[in-house]
A and B are shown apart, each in its own frame.
Chain A
Amino acid sequence: MAIEVRIPTILRNYTDGAKSVEGSGDTLADLIADLDSRHGGLQERLVDDSGLRRFVNVYLNDEDVRFLGGLDAPVKDGDTVTVLPAVAGGKL
């Protein structure tokens, strides 16, 4: 078992076109660092000095990680992490 990470279209040049990749770690920060070791450059696109980049949304089992501790959010085998760009949605 590992953690499945779903990658948005715009970032698939870092994953050889793969829609999802697997990784491991105890926190989201660990997981992203683990992914970056195989998909170099991904970390820099997701994270800056202040944490997750402003227009990057990351969901842990469909819940926004910003409400689960951000980069410190605990993750475990079997979790699904989804990365999406922030877009305008909802009932407009």
Chain B
Amino acid sequence: MRYDSLLDSLGRTPLVGLPRLSPGPATRLWAKLEDRNPTGSVKDRAAFFMVSQAEKDGLLKPGATLLEPTSGNTGISLAMVAKLRGYRLICVMPENTSAERKQLLEMYGASIIYSPAAGGSNEAVRVAKQLAAENPDWAMLYQYGNEANSQAHYETTGPELATDLPSITHFVAGLGTSGTLMGTGRYLREHVPGVQIVAAEPRYGELVYGLRNMDEGFVPELYDESVLTSRFSVSSGDALRRTRELLDLEGLFAGISSGAALHAALALAEKAAAAGQRADVAVMIADGGWRYLSTGAYSGTLEEAEARLEGQLWA
């Protein structure tokens, strides 16, 4: 396939069957390979749509500075788009994100401001909002509340899945900003009667939840509960085990959040199989495993990997 530029190759990612993980011929799992996007993650879709929309809205003058709270993938996608479009990017990210992400961001010319590890992405959001208030000439696209984030999936991911898998019964993706689930979920619900939209949420160790007050939690502005049909909390151990199964059984080297999505997908597929129902379950592979090598997720026993992952943001 030929494209005029890297950005033109965005999306239209492969959907591949997972025959060895699928419970049976009538209950099948399918992986949407988002690591095949320009910078290697699903976030390229949101970054491209958010920047394009901001340009249409007249928010970005040439040479403008973008500010974004991100633990990595969105930052990398935005850094690539910003470089090609002539903007400067400042990322606010928790200090406990992986080394690969930091290096890649710096290579793309982005600046990084660190937020404390305790409190995770909540803290990055808080710091970024403060910086945005102090620097009114910076443009914060704010992936958690930017409709262009979910719109990217409404216009691209949703139609791609409906075209490639008209018999889709379940769509499963990791829950972060909720942009992927909201946009894809709305499109599929409008076009595929009865489709289930399922969120797989990472469940971290206690360090990440910290001493957060229950009244000061965070729910992304984009999140709309009515789009989902269920939501699963997946432990680091289960996510790691499934990530390794993807590689062992299907040859797929995926990031850890993809293992979390697979864990929820398998539970649904097995439930359908037990009930004698046909199922075609699409699972988002948000990125490849490369960006997590330094976390130790892929070396040693599962128990060792799980211990090393304690306190790290793996999705």
Contact = CB atoms under 8 A, between A and B. Distances in A.
A87 B212 contact: yes
B177 A92 contact: yes
A91 B42 contact: yes
Contacts of A67: 228-231
A53 B225 CA distance: 14
A53 B233 CA distance: 18
Given A91-B41, A92-B121, 16 more contacts: A45-B214, A63-B230, A63-B233, A64-B231, A66-B225, A66-B231, A82-B233, A85-B213, A86-B217, A87-B218, A88-B176, A90-B175, A90-B257, A91-B73, A92-B70, A92-B74
Given A9-B210, A64-B232, A89-B121, A56 B217 contact: yes
A86 B214 CA distance: 8
B211 interface: yes
Interface residues of B, number: 56
Contacts of B217: 54-56, 85-87
A20 to B, nearest CB: 13
Given A63-B232, A64-B232, A89 B287 contact: no
Contacts of A73: none
Nearest to B225: A66
Interface in A58-92: 59, 62-64, 66-67, 82, 84-92
A85 B315 contact: no
Contacts of B42: 91
B41 A86 contact: no
B206 A54 contact: no
B144 interface: yes
Given A91-B176, A92-B74, A85 B204 contact: no
